[in-house]
Amino acid sequence: MYKKLFNLMVLMISVLTLNLLTGFITDYIVHYKTNINPFKFTAIAMLTLVFILVPAFSYMNLRIEKIVAKLLVSGSNSFGKTVGLLISFATIFGILFAIYIHEWFQINLLHEIKVKLLSCFN
């Protein structure tokens, strides 16, 4: 059971991290729209993305999986097998959540938490 949960968590975090990284690359390339025909630009940008993202994804996928696995194992070693795994996963997932919500909605999660906590005490 632990191994299946561990593998699922590694997969989830790896997919989210790779999506974030490839999204940054895509945004960077698409940012350079000039006064070129939109059809030509789209075709060129799509080809460029494929030639950049396929090797980048292949390269990053293995490394990210190894890093995530090491982080999850270190949490397991620190807090016990299952509890450590859950704490490590929650921490990594929380960091990714904060990055995603900032990228998609320009919301600073730490600021929002601070505001909510302060409003509870007032």
Mean pLDDT of 83-106: 89
Angle (CA) 30 33 39, round 5°: 90
- Tens digits of per-residue pLDDT, 2-18? 778 887 888 888 888 88
Give the three-state DSSP class for 36.
coil
Q: What CA–CA distance (Å, rounded) separates 93 from 96?
A: 5
pLDDT band at residue 102 using 50, 70 and 90 as cut-offs: very high
Q: What CA–CA distance (Å, rounded) separates 120 from 2?
A: 38
Contacts of 18 (CB under 8 A, 6+ apart): 57, 60, 61, 64
- Tens digits of per-residue pLDDT, 33-88? 777 788 888 888 788 878 877 787 778 778 888 888 888 888 777 777 788 888 88
